[in-house]
């Protein structure tokens, strides 16, 4: 994918990658002798259904906003790609956390595995808000409002989860950011600054 391909290409590539992953999973099941034709899907907890629905709404609103803004030819294409990518990231991560919190039959992920995800969602929400503000002047007010409502609904869902992140996890992440050894989403600006 090229930087100037736009959000519709990003969504198409995400769909292609998902379909590829499903084919790989089907092949792995066949190799292990697992008959997938009569497997019933596990019940989806209400919290997961809600997170998935909000995630879908958020990604759709991000795509609509970026497509409208891109048509003006007056916006930074990196911002449009970041907006759709950020919305997709939040949607996927929120659903993962919702599975952890909403399915009593699953063994819970360790807090040290979930808390970094929530810190990533927190950061991505802030970046999404910033990017949406920069695109807002170039898109119809209705699409801006639709995106704001979808993003606000997702924030309402994840804020209580983020509030539960321990001070220790925050301090550890901040120390890793300061040392330049945090995971890439948290060190991206540092890496960009060193390159320039």
Q: For residue 18, is it within any domain?
A: no
The answer to whether residue 26 sits within a structural domain is no
- Distance in angstroms (rounded) separating the CA atoms of residues 102 and 95: 10
131 is a domain residue: yes
If pLDDT is split at 50, 70 and 90, which confidence band does 14 have?
Answer: confident
Cα 157 to Cα 97: distance, rounded to the nearest angstrom: 11
Per-residue confidence (pLDDT) for residue 30, from 0 to 100: 83
Whether residue 62 contacts residue 147, with contact meaning beta carbons closer than 8 Å, is answered with: yes
Residue 111: both structure tokens together:
């807090």
Query: Model confidence over 57-78: pLDDT tens digits?
Result: 999 999 999 999 888 888 777 8
Report the C-alpha gap between 179 and 89 in whole angstroms.
25
Q: Are 100 and 154 in contact (CB under 8 A)?
A: no
Residue 18: pLDDT band with limits 50, 70, 90: confident
Give the pLDDT band of residue 107 (cuts 50, 70, 90).
low
The pLDDT value recorded for residue 195 is: 43
Whether 148 is covered by a domain: the verdict is yes
CA distances from 169 to 84, 94, 99, 116, 186 (A): 28, 18, 21, 7, 14
Q: Are 47 and 98 in contact (CB under 8 A)?
A: yes
Please indicate, yes or no, if residue 65 is contained in any of the structural domains. Answer: yes
Total of domains in the chain: 1
CB distance 126 to 51 below 8 Å: no
Residue-wise pLDDT for 116-175, tens only, equals 889 989 999 999 999 999 999 999 999 999 999 999 999 999 999 999 999 998 898 888
Coil/strand/helix, residue 104 = coil
Query: Which CATH number does the domain housing residue 140 bear?
Result: 1.20.1440
Domain that holds residue 136: 45-165
pLDDT band for 105, please (50, 70, 90 cuts).
low
Whether 13 is in a domain gets the answer no
pLDDT for the residue 17: 81
Domain presence at residue 7: no
**Alpha carbon separation from 121 to 20, 89, 90, 171, 177 (Å, rounded):** 26, 8, 6, 17, 16
Domain-embedded: residue 63: yes
Say which residues have a Cβ less than 8 Å from residue 147's Cβ, sequence separation at least 6.
61, 62, 64, 65, 132
């Amino acid at each position: 994918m090229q930087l100037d391909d736009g959000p519709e290409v990003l969504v198409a590539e995400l769909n292609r990658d998902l379909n590829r992953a499903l084919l790989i999973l089907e092949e792995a099941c066949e190799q292990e002798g697992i008959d997938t034709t009569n497997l019933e899907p596990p019940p989806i907890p209400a919290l997961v259904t809600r997170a998935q629905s909000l995630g879908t709404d958020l990604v759709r609103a991000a795509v609509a906003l970026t497509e409208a803004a891109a048509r003006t030819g007056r916006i930074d294409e990196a911002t449009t790609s970041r907006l759709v990518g950020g919305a997709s990231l939040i949607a996927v991560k929120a659903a993962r956390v919702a599975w952890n919190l909403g399915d009593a039959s699953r063994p819970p992920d360790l807090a040290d595995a979930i808390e970094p995800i929530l810190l990533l969602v927190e950061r991505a929400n802030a970046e999404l808000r910033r990017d949406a503000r920069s695109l807002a002047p170039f898109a119809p007010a209705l699409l801006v409002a639709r995106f704001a409502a979808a993003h606000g609904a997702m924030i309402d869902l994840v804020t209580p989860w983020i509030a539960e992140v321990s001070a220790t996890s925050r301090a550890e992440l901040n120390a890793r950011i300061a040392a330049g050894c945090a995971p890439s989403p948290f060190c991206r600006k540092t890496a960009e600054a060193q390159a320039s």
